[in-house]
Amino acid sequence: MTERNVATGTHGRYLAVPPGVPQASPAPILVGFHGYAEGAETQLERLRAIPGSNRWLILSIQGLHRFYQRKTDTVVASWMTSQDRDLAIADNLAYVSSCIDAAAAEWPTRSKIVFAGFSQGVAMAFRAAVHAARGTAAVIAAGGDIPPEITPQELSTISQVLLARGKSDQFYTEQQFLADQQRLRDCSVNVLPITPDAGHEWSPDLVSAAANLLASLDS
């Protein structure tokens, strides 16, 4: 048997919410990435629940790999699997860049972007951040680890990271959480670790910390 890879075009989707308050200048961008077996709507709700996010152009990007959630027949998505991993990463990065470019062409924006991911979406948030052409301000990461392929030089381009792990999270281990903190500090990244009394979830404590982060950047 001989295996080959073939490039093909496909369509993805993102949801956008323009700033809900009067803007004297172009808005910064808050880009969200959902977890496994979720959709763009779920991450959009999380981002809109952050106080102060209505001053940002919010984008929630849905993974390209769609499938049905068996219990509800709801269309959900994932970002990638281990199969053809490097090709999937390249496809996803090009896709995310296209989404941001399309949104920036439709609404006035400035080169300040925060990437926010939950669970499987955390890896995409970090990948998008270190490859962003418009300037990364920060990453909000909840319940997921930093991808292993990102180099120290690439990580050092991120100014700050809000890194969250629920105390009873069974998927994002405490050992990995501590290792990710050290990895960021070794790259001179300003890291704010929080450990909400929660499980594998986007917790109220994270929402509060994210609100403080966005407020500090919205100037």
Q: What is the pLDDT of residue 24?
A: 59
Please, which residues bridge with residue 60 across strands?
A: 15, 32
Contacts of 207 (CB under 8 A, 6+ apart): 46, 49, 50, 51
Residue 219 has pLDDT above 80, yes or no: no
Tell whether 2 is covered by a domain.
no
Here the tokens at position 20 are: 């809900």
What does the H/E/C string look like for 6-69? CCCCCCCCEEEECCCCCCCCCEEEEEEECCCCECHHHHHHHHHCCCCHHHCEEEEECCCEEEEE
pLDDT digit string, tens, across residues 22-81: 665 799 999 999 999 999 999 999 999 999 999 999 999 999 999 999 888 899 999 999
Residue 21 has pLDDT above 90, yes or no: no
pLDDT digit string, tens, across residues 110-146: 889 999 999 999 999 999 999 998 888 899 999 999 9
Per-residue DSSP letter, 105: H
Mean pLDDT of 11-32: 89
pLDDT digit string, tens, across residues 164-188: 999 999 999 999 999 999 999 999 9
Tell whether 5 is covered by a domain.
no
Instruction: Indicate the number of domains in the chain.
Output: 1
What global pTM score does this model have?
0.95
Domain that holds residue 133: 14-18+25-217
Residue 15 has pLDDT above 80, yes or no: yes
Contacts of 121 (CB under 8 A, 6+ apart): 32, 33, 34, 35, 43, 79, 144
Q: What is the pLDDT of residue 134?
A: 81
Give CA angle at 213 (210, 218), nearest 5°.
Answer: 120
Q: If you average pLDDT over every residue of the chain, what do you get?
A: 95
Q: What is the pLDDT of residue 164?
A: 98
Q: What is the pLDDT of residue 10?
A: 93
Tell whether 1 is covered by a domain.
no
How far apart CA 11 and CA 192 sit, in angstroms, is 36
Tell whether 140 is covered by a domain.
yes
Q: What CATH number has the domain bearing residue 156? A: 3.40.50.1820
